[in-house]
Structure 1
């Protein structure tokens, strides 16, 4: 197993449960991949970090008692949900968006972009709002350009009437530790600080980025579109005026105070907020960060004078594959590369929402490797 992120750990456990002897090699000195979070007192991740209890990840973890303590969206959080549209912060979405969210049983076409498909049924205003609503799950500045069949089911899950999102107590560091412990109890040998420069003898599962996998395989792997967004993490002294979530319907951004469901992520009396904004074509970090700070001005009034900790960065092609019109997840690089070599990760041919792609590809790769 090459790579000790979510995909690598899930694949290692799945293979070990099937009776295989597994050796996992991780280049970094800590496990977790993109799920690694900062060490307290401020526990911050790279972008949104929730599990969906209606997905395969949740059932797999629950069946092995690996979830730990978790919580849903508290009632106080629902009261603090805001939308930015027309340059202002509002408690309710624009009226044009409501009929879109109500028509949940409709099937979306693969070969039509999401904006065009929604506009045919509900008009331009609804299409723009619905597309920007999905910036949180695509990290893309124009989610409306993506296949309707890709965006629509994700919108239905993220914004379900009964939100399926669950927050893991203490962040995902604890989940990584539980996965690693479970893997070791199953006999998996885990080696950190073990950078791999040549493909190990098969059967081997490569659970890395596509670029790293291509170097190991000695072949080109088609890299489809992925997100590119600026990220901002802030710890601020708590203020009752602060929003819980702001969905930016003007620019596909998102801001969330993760200490509302999990106060342990920051010291007492402080809030940990994470914000993201997809970068426009040709836009650099400074320009995107300036626009994101303008969103933060609305969500956290006076935040600059209340900030106790801050970090920012750019997530480039680190948020999973995006499917354009005419394409589905089946068109991504195949899990089975032949000759006992398999891929796992969030850019390969597997279904799911965000980290679920890594999970599904890891399970598929494992079953093929041990069959």
Structure 2
């Protein structure tokens, strides 16, 4: 039975801990925060907020894994009849439909898009500039990036296809993502995982087994003292609002003039806010030179268009800036394989949404957690086999030496 240490109790860390424990390892998990979940943590209190808009994509690899372990729990789909309340800002005006050229682009297979060309250039050649820009800005919802058009065409097109798939892939855990995390934590506990919260790890522990670092890339860089642990991410203003209910509010507002997204989460899950109120969450990507206030101004402009009288109806509000915590984005000429490797050598492995694993958003965390455990167990197995072989060799040498001593003859141990 191998010993594995997991640092970080978010989605990647819990995935790794459960997988390792199911494989028979003794697992210890350390989380700096007082609750588990990382970016999948759901806010406490009457407003069950996630850290920005969250959805679970039902065609992703983690869906089957969670379902097999009965960890999905109750789910909500896109609300019925709400399709008519999906709004797009185009040319400063709220509209019911995106440009037809953008819809045509969603039919292009991801394999058709090149890795080494930026998305805007490639998409413009496919459907024209208007449709290309609209599609690029629309993808702010899945990329949390201020300029998706500048990213690899293959990277963006794959996500565009999945974000616009029919039937829609998006599912919403009822009660917020924290409900999934709680079920994962309970499953890990039942498997014997030792979980310690409020346990910040500032240095690699003295260990007899592998260590999986399932933190943000910034935290991993400081913990491991490895300045190469860097990758491009998004910088995003987040806003949460509780509004008094008004009939006719849209389900979602997508800004096609600049990346930005507002979503009314109580449309599919009324339990996220008290009766008579609705929870709206938004993410507004900002450039490196912009401030949180710039993102808030953008959010308020969208709210003015989509949620009439929202200021007078607001009963609760929260704002935040997410920097370097919104997943990896791939520039032209790069893919997920170019991101920081999972295997860092000497029994240390990375997991999280910015490392070398495929997938969309949380799927990267999931895939990297599985791969980290696979590599760790394989390495530990080989180390154990090598250790037993060394012990057997030493025992054989000692036995030969003893026999030689009893016979009174000299023995060349080095040759033996």
Q: If the TM-score is normalised by the length of the shorter chain, which range does it land in? A: over 0.9
1:217 pairs, out of 224, 228, 233, with: 224
2:54 pairs, out of 49, 52, 70, with: 49
Q: What number of residue pairs does the alignment pair up?
A: 371
TM-score, normalised relative to structure 2? 0.87
Preserved CA contact (<8 Å) 1:332 1:349: yes
Preserved CA contact (<8 Å) 1:241 1:301: no
1:133 pairs, out of 138, 144, 149, with: 138
Shift of 1:101: 2.1
Preserved CA contact (<8 Å) 2:352 2:365: yes
Aligned counterpart, 1:350: 357
Q: What runs of 5+ residues in structure 2 fail to find an aligned partner?
A: 1-5, 379-416
Preserved CA contact (<8 Å) 2:110 2:161: no
Q: What runs of 5+ residues in structure 1 fail to find an aligned partner?
A: none
Distance 1:106 1:189, change over 3 A: closer
TM-score, normalised relative to structure 1? 0.98
Aligned counterpart, 1:208: 215
Indicate the structure whose relative CO is greater, using CA pairs within 8 Å and at least 6 residues apart: 1
Which protein is bigger by CA-based radius of gyration? Answer: 2
1:270 and 2:277 are equivalent in the alignment: yes
Aligned counterpart, 1:197: 202
Shift of 1:217: 1.5
SS at match of 2:185: helix
Distance 1:217 1:315 in 2: 23
Shift of 1:105: 6.6
SS at match of 1:102: coil
Distance 1:105 1:8, change over 3 A: closer
Answer with 96-105 or 125-134: which moved more.
Answer: 96-105
Aligned counterpart, 1:312: 319
Distance 1:197 1:287 in 2: 34
1:1-371 paired onto structure 2 within 5 Å: 1-104=6-109, 107-200=112-205, 201=207, 202-371=209-378
Answer with 155-164 or 208-217: which moved more.
Answer: 208-217
Answer with 249-258 or 36-45: which moved more.
Answer: 36-45
SS at match of 2:29: strand
Distance 1:178 1:58 in 2: 14
Preserved CA contact (<8 Å) 1:256 1:274: yes
Preserved CA contact (<8 Å) 1:40 1:266: no
SS at match of 1:320: coil
Moved over 6 A (4+): none
**Is the helix fraction higher in 1 or 2?**
2
SS at match of 2:243: strand
Q: CA RMSD in A?
A: 1.1
Answer with 98-107 or 302-311: which moved more.
Answer: 98-107
Distance 1:197 1:188 in 2: 21
